[in-house]
């Protein structure tokens, strides 16, 4: 199926992916006089803030709860739903994940619509930080819908739902991205098919890469056409070592340490954090990223760390486990990176690309000289849309990997 993407204004740059693009309607229904038919919810619960027990459904992607979304992030002329869907948790057990699905208002084609599964950047790990609650910011959302895409936007495991959010744990994030695409196809009226492109920024770039790695085993029913990673947090070891000395970056470090300690039983907080740091760690479950950053900004990082987690064998092993490294991704990959990014420095992405290429992957790597971390999606937006359209059209991908 060929989908023509209209390339217009560029994606806005924020770690959450920038504004959704296009005018939003308060009711999440069609504008300009276009009528939207209501979609039947069926027997599913409509309370998407409460996880029912036992979980409805039988497998990943099955719907748990569904409700029409009426929020400013729904473009005019589109339909949207808040949902809970089944996924596989970090412990291998079934878990409910929250998210949002957007679809064009027009009747779907017989062959089905491709799905763009969006993976957001770092917002924090507290439930109230979930984009489905604060406002989803999918780059070029309106243009994607106009081009015929269904867009699925996961919150990730434990972000907006009970349990810990496994921040920067690749298997959990990748499954959340893939199963959101599956869930979109379960909603009557979206017309979503099996063709999927994963797109993510920062934390979401890491998630999108892991979606590509996991797709053959976790979601063989999906036809993964491509993976787009913007400023991906791929080289976690290097990023952690560079962030540890910076007080204003300690919110990110504290969030990662908290999530890893909650996710992996063998990791001990006292091996890496001082008692003073542990005493403040409750803020991670209560505040979004800026609040966590503020909570630790009044002291140098030496007041918070016993040692760098990378200098503790058990911690270093788990960090390394969650790097994409040279793992095989069966679909072509586009990586975009701002050259003046100080959150995910270009040098770390250069290394990630070398490793992905060494694994035999098809990678198209594009650097943008004037773009920082929050600007790269805006700079790269038109080229991302062109690349995605080419994947749907089955145009053979290019690669910047040498040899």
Residue 399 pLDDT > 80: yes
- Per-residue pLDDT of 119-141, as tens digits, reads 999 999 999 999 999 999 999 99
pLDDT at 233 over 80: yes
53-58 contacts at long range (C-beta below 8 A, 24 or more positions apart) = 55/86, 55/94, 55/96, 56/86, 57/86
Tell me: the pLDDT tens digits for 163-185? Answer: 999 999 999 999 999 999 999 99
State the pLDDT at residue 131.
Answer: 98
Give the contacts of 303 (CB within 8 A, at least 6 positions apart): 274, 276, 277
Contact criterion met (CB below 8 Å) for 178 and 215: yes
Q: Report the percent of the chain where pLDDT is more than 70.
A: 89
In this predicted structure, the answer to whether residue 81 has a pLDDT above a threshold of 80 is yes
Give the tens place of pLDDT for each residue, 321-374: 999 999 999 999 999 999 999 999 999 999 999 999 999 999 999 999 999 999
Is the confidence at residue 274, as pLDDT, over 90? yes
- pLDDT for 38: 39
84-103 pLDDT, tens digit per residue, is 999 999 999 999 999 999 99
Mean pLDDT over the full length of the chain: 90
- Residue-level pLDDT at 21: 39
* pLDDT tens per residue, range 206-231: 999 999 999 999 999 999 999 999 99
Q: What phi and psi, each to the nearest 5 degrees, are found at residue 285? A: -85, -5
Residues whose CB falls within 8 Å of the CB of residue 8, separated by 6 or more in sequence, listed in order: 143, 382
Strands 78-88 and 63-68: antiparallel
pLDDT bucket at 248, cuts 50 / 70 / 90? confident
Domains of the chain: 63-235+326-392 (3.40.50.1820), 253-321 (no CATH)
Does the structure show a pLDDT above 60 at 143?
yes
CB 372 within 8 A of CB 380: no
Please tell me the pTM assigned to this model: 0.90
Question: Residue 162 — very low, low, confident or very high, per pLDDT cuts 50/70/90?
Answer: very high
10-55 pLDDT per residue, tens: 333 335 444 333 333 333 333 333 333 334 456 788 999 999 999 9
């Amino acid at each position: 199926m060929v989908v023509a993407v209209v390339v217009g204004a560029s994606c806005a740059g924020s770690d959450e992916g920038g504004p959704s693009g296009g005018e939003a309607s308060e009711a999440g229904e069609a504008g300009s006089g276009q009528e939207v038919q209501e979609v039947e919810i069926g027997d599913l619960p409509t309370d998407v803030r409460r996880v029912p027990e036992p979980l409805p459904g039988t497998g990943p992607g099955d719907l748990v709860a569904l409700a029409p979304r009426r929020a400013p992030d729904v473009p005019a002329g589109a339909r949207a739903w808040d949902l809970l869907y089944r996924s596989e948790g970090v412990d291998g057990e079934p878990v409910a994940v929250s998210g949002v699905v957007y679809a064009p208002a027009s009747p779907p084609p017989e062959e089905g619509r491709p799905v763009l599964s969006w993976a957001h950047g770092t917002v924090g790990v507290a439930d109230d930080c979930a984009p489905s609650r604060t406002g989803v910011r999918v780059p070029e959302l309106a243009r994607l819908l106009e081009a015929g895409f269904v867009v699925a936007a996961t919150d990730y495991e434990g972000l907006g739902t009970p349990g810990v959010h496994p921040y920067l744990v690749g298997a959990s994030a990748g499954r959340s991205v893939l199963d959101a695409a599956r869930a979109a196809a379960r909603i009557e009226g979206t017309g979503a098919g099996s063709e999927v492109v994963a797109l993510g920024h920062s934390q979401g770039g890491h998630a999108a890469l892991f979606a590509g790695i996991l797709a053959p085993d976790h979601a063989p029913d999906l036809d993964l056409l491509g993976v787009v990673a913007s400023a991906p947090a791929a080289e976690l070891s290097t990023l952690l070592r560079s962030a540890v000395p910076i007080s204003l970056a300690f919110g990110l470090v504290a969030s990662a340490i908290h999530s890893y300690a909650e996710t992996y039983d063998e990791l001990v907080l006292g091996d890496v954090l001082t008692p003073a740091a542990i005493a403040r760690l409750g803020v991670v479950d209560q505040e979004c990223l800026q609040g966590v950053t503020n909570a630790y900004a009044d002291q140098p990082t030496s007041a918070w760390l016993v040692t760098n987690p990378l200098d503790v064998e058990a911690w270093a092993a788990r960090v390394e486990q969650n790097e994409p490294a040279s793992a095989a991704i069966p679909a072509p990959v586009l990586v975009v990176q701002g050259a003046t990014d100080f959150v995910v420095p270009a040098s770390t992405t250069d290394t990630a690309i070398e490793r992905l290429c060494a694994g035999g992957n098809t990678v198209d790597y594009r650097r943008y000289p004037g773009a920082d971390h929050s600007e790269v999606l805006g700079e790269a937006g038109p080229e991302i849309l062109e690349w995605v359209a080419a994947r749907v059209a089955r145009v053979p991908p290019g690669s910047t990997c040498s040899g």
